[in-house]
Amino acid sequence: MHSRIKEFIERNKLFLLAFPLSFFLVLLVALGFISSKLDSPLDRSIVVDVPKGSTVLDLFNKLDEESEINHNRTILKLYSKLTEGRGPIKAGKYSLVEGMTTRQIIKLLRAGAVVSYRATFPEGWTFSQWRRKLMVLPHLNKKIIGKSDTEIAALIGIKGEIEGWFFPDTYYYNLGTSDLDLLESAYQKMKEIISLEWSSRNAERLIKSPYEAIILASMVEKETGYGPDRAKISSVFLNRLRSQMRLESDPTVIYGLGDSFDGDLKKHHLRSDTPFNTYTRFGLPPTPIASPGRESINVVLSENQSPFYYFVAMGNGKSYFSKNYKEHLAAVKRYQLGNSRRTP
């Protein structure tokens, strides 16, 4: 038996030596062909929608319909399987730039680098303003249309009133995201921020709960857009709470008037009692009046001390602070000169 094998090897020595070399050459040619296909460029820039559950091959079949890119089905299957697997890719919009190769497109898809959209919600916005913004955001699934604030709160998991529970920030979303998803993100972020700030609050604890902190912070937020004044305005409200004085904040009155407010706050508005009128009622209003930012939450829970009990808008975005009512009247005369805008 061994002699026959030895005889076969002797007779086919040249073939056996040549076979590995031939195989190697064929392999090189095949790899070169595959590489050329993977380096085929996209002829123009396009944005493509990738539905949920799609594979790399599904997308390239779609590209066949929308653009000319030279690809081979078998090669794509093989390359995708050998590199990153052959499961579905992340759904969304993908921006493919002219000149991108097949290899680069596959890498982009596997990374899930979908086109994202940005939505900014400023500090001090009410939930009504959030709703209006969500209505006009592009490529966002609209799920809250026709739903009441109470229904939306229940869907998100908010117990009680919805106002004030959404953290003002810039949020990014992809194709397929819903308005409810964005609200959920903003709600979770507000819970995270208020939890962190509450855990490091001042030991005096005049503010009894995180919810009270959001309420007072929303008042501070609506009273000023000038950062350095926030701590002083917070101290005015806290001093008034300690002294059992009415807070007398115009923004709470305006919030309580709702849609009936025409932009011109008059004396009779200040005398019209609502649950939010801090000229007629003591203590905090029943709910926040807007979504406060972190700085306003921080100054409220820091419970900074000051000698001030009054402040008035100076007309330049800043406020003037007074220790007593006589000083305050002089400041009103100096800075407002009959302006109907009233402050504590």
Confidence class for position 79, pLDDT limits 50, 70, 90: low
Confidence class for position 27, pLDDT limits 50, 70, 90: very low
Note whether residue 246 is domain-resident: yes
Is 110 in the same domain as 209? no
**In a 3-state reduction of DSSP, which class is residue 328?**
helix
The DSSP code for 172 is: E
Is 212 in the same domain as 326? yes
Residue 155 lies in domain: 117-195
**In a 3-state reduction of DSSP, which class is residue 284?**
coil
- List, for residues 81-95, the tens digit of each pLDDT value: 545 555 677 777 887
Q: How many domains does the chain have?
A: 4
Which of 69, 96, 114 terminates a domain? The answer is: 114
Alpha helices in 84-229 (DSSP H): 102-111, 127-136, 149-156, 179-199, 210-223
Is 151 in the same domain as 80? no
Amino acid at residue number 252: T
Note whether residue 225 is domain-resident: yes
Q: Which long-range contacts (C-beta less than 8 Å, at least 24 apart) are formed by 23-28?
A: none
Q: Residue 301 is encoded by which pair of tokens? A: 């829970």
CATH number at residue 62: 3.30.1490.480
Which of 173, 195, 217 terminates a domain? The answer is: 195
C-alpha 205: how far from chain center: 31
Whether residue 170 is predicted with pLDDT greater than 90 in this model: the reply is yes
Is 237 in the same domain as 292? yes
The mean of the pLDDT values for the chain is: 83
Within 8 A by CB and 6+ apart from 109, the residues are 50, 56, 59, 89, 90, 94
pLDDT for res 158: 96
Whether residue 97 is predicted with pLDDT greater than 90 in this model: the reply is no
Note whether residue 342 is domain-resident: no
The average pLDDT across 177-191 equals 97
Is 24 in the same domain as 57? no
Is 294 in the same domain as 266? yes
Which of 88, 114, 140 terminates a domain? The answer is: 114
- State how far the Cα of 276 lies from the Cα of 255, in Å rounded to an integer: 7
Burial class (CB in 10 A: 0-12, 13-18, 19+), 293: buried
Alpha helices in the chain (DSSP H): 2-11, 13-38, 56-66, 73-83, 102-111, 127-136, 149-156, 179-199, 210-223, 230-242, 250-257, 267-271, 294-302, 325-335
Of 127, 63, 124, the C-alpha closest to 292 is 124
Is 189 in the same domain as 209? no
Is 141 in the same domain as 263? no
Is 327 in the same domain as 224? yes
Secondary structure (DSSP) of 119-152: EE--TT--HHHHHHHHHH-TT-B---TT--HHHH
pLDDT for res 90: 78
Confidence class for position 72, pLDDT limits 50, 70, 90: very low
Note whether residue 142 is domain-resident: yes
Is 223 in the same domain as 302? yes
C-alpha 187: how far from chain center: 10
- List, for residues 302-326, the tens digit of each pLDDT value: 988 999 999 999 988 899 999 999 9
Is 26 in the same domain as 87? no
pLDDT for res 302: 92
